[in-house]
Structure 1
C-alpha cells in the first residue's frame, strides 16, 4: 500500500543549483531605470531573476519516473499544442553543405524591430520540446510572451534540409552552428543572440560556447538535457540490458532511418569520398534496430564532421572527442544548464567541472540546475484535469532568456586579462558571408526554403537527438 501511495504522490523538491565558488560579475540593466547598471554574480542574478528555479517541481502523478516522462515525450500527441510557423532560409556552406534556418514569427505575420532579441535554437523545428519554448518566447508581450524572434538551426539532413555534401551532422561538430550564427548576426547586427540547445543540440551549443570563449556571438546560452560525457553515457546505455534494448536501439533505429532517407544523395559521393564509401558499406550490414554505438561506429565516425578530425578509429574515440563537459571551464558568457537526475539517457552530470571539485578549476559563468525528476526533455507536471500536463521547464527558461536578452548587456571576468572579441563579418566578392580570421568558413543564402509548419514531420523525442 505504501508503494502505491508513493507512486501516486511523487516526491517534490526544488532544483539543486550548482555554481562555482569563484564568481564572475555581470553588469545588468536595472528594470526600474534602463540607464542604471547593477552588478550581479551569476548566483545572485538567477536567484533574483529566475524565481522558478527556486520553487519545487512536482512531476505529474502518472509520470513519476524518468522512464515514463521520456516515454510520454515520444508517444504523446503534441501536434495541436504550441503551433509555430516559420520562414525557412537555406544556407549553402563553403564546403558544399546546406543548412536550414527557420525564423519565427514569419515576416508576413508580424514585423519586429531589428534589435529584437533572437533565440537561436539547436535543432529540429518540428520537435514538440522546441515549439514548447519558442511558442511563448515569440508570442507578443500582450499575450504573455517575450515578443522575441526565434531562429532554429536545422543541421544537414534534418527537418527537410537536403544533403548536398559528403557530410552528415554529429554531436561534436560545431562549424555549422558557427556559420549559422554568422549569418544571423549579419542579418540582425543590432540584435542580441541567445542560444538554447536540446539534447544533442545542447551538446553542440556547449562545445561552441567553450570553443569560442569571449569570441562567442551568442550573448548567453541555455542547455536542456545535455548529454555532457557521451562516452560515459554510451557505456551506460550499452551495458544495461533494458537501456540497450529500449533507448540505444530506438536511437540507432531513428538514425538508420534518417541515413536511409538520404541514401541516394550520399551515393553520389562514393566515387570521390572514401569516408562516405566506408559508411555506406557498413550501413548495409546493420540490422533494422541497431544499437546506437553500432550506428555511430558504422556511419557517424566517418561522416559526422569535416576532415580532420573525421574519420575516427572507433565510435568510442568519436564519443571522447564529441563530449561537451570538457568545454565547460572555457565558457565566457552567462550559461544555464538544466538536467534531471532520473534522465535515462544522460547518466552523468559534470558538477565538478563548475564547482571546482576534484582538482577542476571551476567556472563562475556556469550554473547547472538539477531536478530530481523530469526524464529526458520531459519535465511534465499536472495542468488540471485527469491527464492534463504542461512542461515545468518552460517558465524558468523564459525567465532566463528574458534576463539575458534584455538585462545582461556587458559581462566581465573578475580575473584580469584582455578580452578577445569576435572577428568582423564581411561579404566577399563572390557573395559569401565570412568572418575575418576564419577564411575557411562562410555561407550564403540560396533559393528554396519558404513557409514551414512547425508540426509537420513530428517524429518524437528520440528522432531529434
Structure 2
C-alpha cells in the first residue's frame, strides 16, 4: 500500500496537504471500505476460469505425435492455469482493492547477471546523448564492446516486457517473473523491458510522450532484434497499459508480427468502459485515478523543457489548466488526446481500444485477468471480451476470481502468476516453438468473415 502512496508524497505538498494526513486518509478509506466488503464477498481462494476459442489454432513440430492446442498444452504442463485450479491468496488482501494498492528515444533494459553487471570498464561506458550520468543503482549503460557484440546467430529466446502506466524495469510485477525465468533458464533466454518514453529516469529527446496507440517503439525494437539475432524467437509480455500497446501492435501487423507468443496481464480491452468504471467507482475514482494521474503530472513537469517545444503541449500546460487535472480522464482529455491528434479522451479511448480490432490479431495470444480488477473493471464494463475472443482461434483467456490489478498475491505474498507463467514461456519455447518444422495450423473455413465493407454494411441495388 505504501509503495503507491510514495509516488504522491513528492507532489501533494504543492497543494498544501499534509503528507501524514493524506496517507492516513487514503489508508483509512480503503480499510473502511474493505471492512464492509468482508461481509459481502470475503474470499481467499482464487479460482481459475478459462475461455478458449471454438476452433483454436494448433501447433505442430517433428517431436509431437499430433498437433496440440494451447488448451491441451496448458492442461498437460501448467496445472495452475487449468480450469477450476485454485490457490490460497493472502487472507489480508481479500479483495481487488487490497490486492491492487501494493503496489524520439525509448529505453530498453536488458537483464544480466550480477557478475556481468559489475564486471566492466567504466571508461568504456557509452552514455547516450542528453541522458543522465547515472540512471539507477540497478541500471547502467552498456560499454562499446557490449554494443558491438549485439549480433548472434544463436537460437536463444527473447522475452520483451511492455510496462504499465509510467512504469519501468524496476517494477516488482516484472521482476518476479524475470527472476523465475532467469534462474531456471539463464543460458536460453534473454530478458528485456521497454521503458515508455520519459519513464525509468530516461530523458526525452523529442517533445512527445506515449499513449496506448503508440506502437512504433515496439515495432522498431522487434525489427532491431530481427536484424541482429535472426534465429531468435520473440515473446511479448504486456502489463496493463503495455498490454494495450502490445495488442494494438499485433492487430496492426496481423500475420507479420514476428512474435511467437504474446501474453497480456491485467489488460484493458475497452478503454471507454474501463475509464467509466475507474472514474465512477467509489474507491477507484477517489484513489486510483488520482494516484495514477500524479506520476503523469510529475512526468510532464520533469520533461517540460523538452515538451514545451510542442505547441499543443505549450498551449495546454498552464497553471489554470493543470490545477484542474486530478483524474486520469482529465489528463487524457487535456494532454494525451490532444498531443496525439485526437479531439478528446473519448475519441482517443475509442481508437486505442483493442476490443474493436480483435479479429485482426493473428499471433498466439494468452490473456490473464482478474475478475475483481478495480481499475480495468470486469465483465460488467466489457473489460474482458470473452465471447468475442471465442471466435478468434489465436486468443485464449485465463481469468481468476481474485487478484486485483497486477496484484495476485498468494498466501505467502508471492505473485501467483510468476511461477506458472515462467513455466509456460519456457516449456512453450522448448517443446513447441524451438523444435524443427514448427508450424501453426488453422482451419480457414472457421475464421469469422468481416461483415462491414470499408466500415459500412454492404448495400445491394434491387
- Fold-level similarity (TM above 0.5): yes
Which residue number in structure 2 is paired with residue 21 of structure 1?
54
Matched, 1:393 2:417: yes
Contact 1:121–1:152 (Cα < 8 Å) also in 2: yes
Whole-angstrom CA distance in 1 between matches of 2:313 and 2:193: 27
Whole-angstrom CA distance in 1 between matches of 2:199 and 2:410: 30
Farther-moved stretch of structure 1 (232-241 vs 364-373): 232-241
Residue-by-residue CA offset, 1:296-323 (whole Å, 9 max, x unaligned): 11111122xxxxxx31111111011111
Residue 109 of structure 2 is aligned with which of 94, 102, 107? Answer: 102
**Taking structure 1 as reference, are residues 27 and 279 closer, same or farther at Cα in structure 2, changes over 3 Å only?**
farther
Q: Give the SS at the match of 1:397.
A: helix
Contact 2:46–2:89 (Cα < 8 Å) also in 1: no
Residue 115 of structure 1 is aligned with which of 155, 174, 199? Answer: 155
Structure 1: any 5+ residue segments left out of the alignment? 31-35, 75-96, 304-309, 356-361, 384-388, 418-465
Which residue number in structure 1 is paired with residue 70 of structure 2?
42
Which residue number in structure 2 is paired with residue 317 of structure 1?
347
TM-score normalised by structure 1 residue count: 0.72
Contact 2:180–2:419 (Cα < 8 Å) also in 1: no
Residue 387 of structure 2 is aligned with which of 332, 352, 364? Answer: 352
Matched, 1:130 2:158: no
Contact 2:153–2:229 (Cα < 8 Å) also in 1: no
In angstroms, what is the RMSD of aligned CA positions? 2.7
Which residue number in structure 2 is paired with residue 206 of structure 1?
247
Contact 1:139–1:146 (Cα < 8 Å) also in 2: no
Residue-by-residue CA offset, 1:40-81 (whole Å, 9 max, x unaligned): 12221222232211221322111110000001x22xxxxxxx
Which residue number in structure 2 is paired with residue 79 of structure 1?
none
Residue-by-residue CA offset, 1:249-279 (whole Å, 9 max, x unaligned): 1111121111111111212x14xxx333334
Contact 2:279–2:285 (Cα < 8 Å) also in 1: yes
What is the deviation of 1:402? 1.5
What is the deviation of 1:17? 0.6
**Taking structure 1 as reference, are residues 125 and 29 closer, same or farther at Cα in structure 2, changes over 3 Å only?**
farther
Residue 396 of structure 2 is aligned with which of 353, 364, 367? Answer: 367
What is the deviation of 1:333? 2.0
TM-score normalised by structure 2 residue count: 0.73
Which structure is higher in helix share?
2
What is the deviation of 1:22? 1.8
Aligned length: 363
Whole-angstrom CA distance in 2 between matches of 1:286 and 1:29: 60
What is the deviation of 1:242? 2.8
Matched, 1:53 2:81: yes
Whole-angstrom CA distance in 2 between matches of 1:275 and 1:381: 45
Contact 1:140–1:147 (Cα < 8 Å) also in 2: no
What is the deviation of 1:326? 2.1
Which residue number in structure 2 is paired with residue 328 of structure 1?
358
Residue 188 of structure 1 is aligned with which of 212, 219, 229? Answer: 229
Q: Give the SS at the match of 1:193.
A: strand
Contact 2:254–2:362 (Cα < 8 Å) also in 1: yes
Within 5 Å, give how 1:299-318 maps onto structure 2.
299-303=335-339, 310-318=340-348
Q: Give the SS at the match of 2:264.
A: strand
Residue-by-residue CA offset, 1:142-198 (whole Å, 9 max, x unaligned): xxx684110111121111222111211011211111111111222221111100011
Which residue number in structure 1 is paired with residue 290 of structure 2?
249
**Taking structure 1 as reference, are residues 190 and 51 closer, same or farther at Cα in structure 2, changes over 3 Å only?**
same
Contact 1:137–1:146 (Cα < 8 Å) also in 2: no
Q: Give the SS at the match of 1:377.
A: coil
Farther-moved stretch of structure 1 (408-417 vs 191-200): 408-417
What is the deviation of 1:140? 4.5
**Taking structure 1 as reference, are residues 9 and 364 closer, same or farther at Cα in structure 2, changes over 3 Å only?**
same
Q: Give the SS at the match of 1:257.
A: helix
Residue 280 of structure 1 is aligned with which of 304, 317, 327? Answer: 317
Which residue number in structure 2 is paired with residue 404 of structure 1?
428
Structure 2: any 5+ residue segments left out of the alignment? 1-35, 120-148, 378-382, 447-462
**Taking structure 1 as reference, are residues 373 and 311 closer, same or farther at Cα in structure 2, changes over 3 Å only?**
same
What is the deviation of 1:224? 0.2
Residue 228 of structure 1 is aligned with which of 261, 269, 281? Answer: 269
Which residue number in structure 2 is paired with residue 84 of structure 1?
none
